[in-house]
Amino acid sequence: EVQLVESGGGLVQPGRSLRLACATSGFTLGDYAVSWVRQAPGKGLEWLGFIRTKDHGGTTGYAASVKGRFSISRDESKSIAYLQMNSLKTEDTAVYYCARGSSSYYEGLLDYWGRGTLVTVSS
Amino acid sequence: DIVMTQSPDSLAVSLGERATIKCKSSQSVLYSPNNKNYLAWYQQKPGQPPKLLISWASTRESGVPERFSGSGSGTDFTLTISSLQAEDVAVYYCHQYYATPLFTFGPGTKVDIK
């Protein structure tokens, strides 16, 4: 059974950093892309970025809104993907989801999602 | 970036009636070599993560009731719920996965019972 479980959320002060983890099971992490998507309170979904499959060199891509501040990585030996968030702002407050791309060819089609982890940026 | 818009922002439909949601992309999401529209629909119920309902503009995912259907091509797409059920109350998002690596979601349409 495919599962993704996010962790690492919590309360953090503006300007600080936080690393979220996405523990995966039921599939080989390097064979699928993993995207991070967030949802601010009462708002819609915002795609943040992804890490591509091994076939695509494991490269990363980011939305303009977070490029340069957020970075995505993975540890295939642990089946965990990470979202490193730096220089956090109050507007980064949101539920953060990780989601799996459905195949190596269709990395943006998100077929399985975690339940999310809440990040609150506040002083 | 491809900008996705949806209409209406919200709608209320009587049980058993049809609900129709529109989605428009600022650029075509039709990939000519395979003639596929890189457009998906997600359903999100309160307190839950999004759930993939429809991929390739019109392909229902396994287990999705037949009352859900998707149509359209290029830049204009529609999600139809043919006979609204109570459990369909949710926010629905369209999503383009054409423009690697800049995928984008629509703003969402909230569906309620009238």
Q: Does B65 contact chain A (CB < 8 Å)? A: no
- Mean pLDDT score, B12-23: 98
Residue of A nearest to B38 (CA): A109
Chain B touched by A97 (CB under 8 Å): yes
Tell me B61's DSSP state.
Answer: P
Average pLDDT over residues B6-25: 98
pLDDT in tens, B62-76: 999 999 999 999 999
Give the pLDDT confidence score for residue B49 in this predicted structure.
98
Residues of chain A found within 8 Å of residue B95, distances taken between Cβ atoms: 45, 47, 108, 110
Run means of pLDDT, 10 residues per run, chain A, 123 residues: 98 98 96 97 97 92 95 97 98 98 89 98 97
Q: Inform me whether the C-beta atom of residue A45 falls under 8 Å from chain B C-beta atoms.
A: yes
Nearest of B113, B71, B65 to residue B94 by alpha carbon: B71
Nearest CA in chain A to B109: A44
Q: Does B106 touch chain A (CB under 8 A)?
A: yes
Pairing of strands B104-105, B39-44: unpaired
Give the model's pLDDT for residue B46: 94
pLDDT number for residue A71: 98
Q: Is pLDDT of B101 > 90?
A: no
| pLDDT at residue number B112 | 97
Q: Could you tell me if B74 and B91 are in contact, meaning their C-beta atoms sit under 8 angstroms apart?
A: no
Render pLDDT for B45-60 as a digit per residue (tens, 0 to 9): 999 999 999 999 999 9
d(CA B43, CA B92): 5
The reported pLDDT for the residue numbered A104 is 78
- Residues from chain A that touch B1, judged by Cβ atoms under 8 A, are 64
CB–CB of B50 and A97 under 8 A?
A: yes
Q: Is B41 on the interface with A (CB under 8 A)?
A: no
**Ranges of H-type helices in chain B:** none
Residue B70: Cβ within 10 Å count:
23
Beta bridge pairs of residue A95: A39, A118
| Residue B31 structure tokens | 């990939």
